[in-house]
Amino acid sequence: MIHDRTGPTREQMQQLAESVLATLPEQFRVQMDEIVMQVEDFATPEQLASVELTDKWELTGLYEGEALPDRSVWQSHRMPARIWLFREPLIAEWRETGVRMDDLVRHVVIHEAGHHFGFSDDDMHALEDDAD
């Protein structure tokens, strides 16, 4: 899809991310219908601090929200969960690794969706290692 080395626009990356969600099995898609996908060039300083990072080039994606296992039926009026994709760090990784952009976006979206389902980073790395 992206043939030159400038990388996708925000709109193109948004479309890539939404297409990933559309390909997930229905049982996962149904539980993610409230998630907002948002693409920005970089994470904010507050977002970086929330995952104990300081370098804006190190963060390609972020899940903000309450994981499904932590929710209560008694809670209402909460903000929707959000998956952020950070365009510039993703483009830098794409250029550095040569991995297809749609594969990078897929990896980040699925990783951040894992947080929505309550998986830790360690859980997801173990699942990825088992899948290899």
What is the residue whose two structure tokens read 């749609």?
102
Is 10-131 CATH 3.40.228.10? no
Whole-angstrom CA distances from 124 to 19, 27, 42, 67, 115 are: 21, 19, 23, 14, 9
Sorted by sequence, the CB contacts under 8 Å of residue 7 that are 6+ apart come out as: 87, 90, 91, 94, 95, 101
Q: What is the Cβ-side half-sphere exposure of residue 70, based on CA atoms within 13 angstroms? A: 11
**What's the predicted TM-score (pTM) here?**
0.83
Q: 80: which DSSP letter?
A: P
**Contact in structure between 60 and 108 (CB atoms under 8 Å):** yes
69: left (phi over 0), alpha (psi -120 to 50) or beta: alpha
pLDDT tens for each residue of the chain, 132 residues long: 444 578 999 999 999 999 988 888 887 788 787 889 999 999 999 999 999 999 999 999 999 987 765 565 556 666 788 999 999 999 999 999 999 999 999 999 988 888 877 777 787 776 566 654
Sorted by sequence, the CB contacts under 8 Å of residue 32 that are 6+ apart come out as: 21, 24, 113, 116
Domain ranges in the chain? 10-131
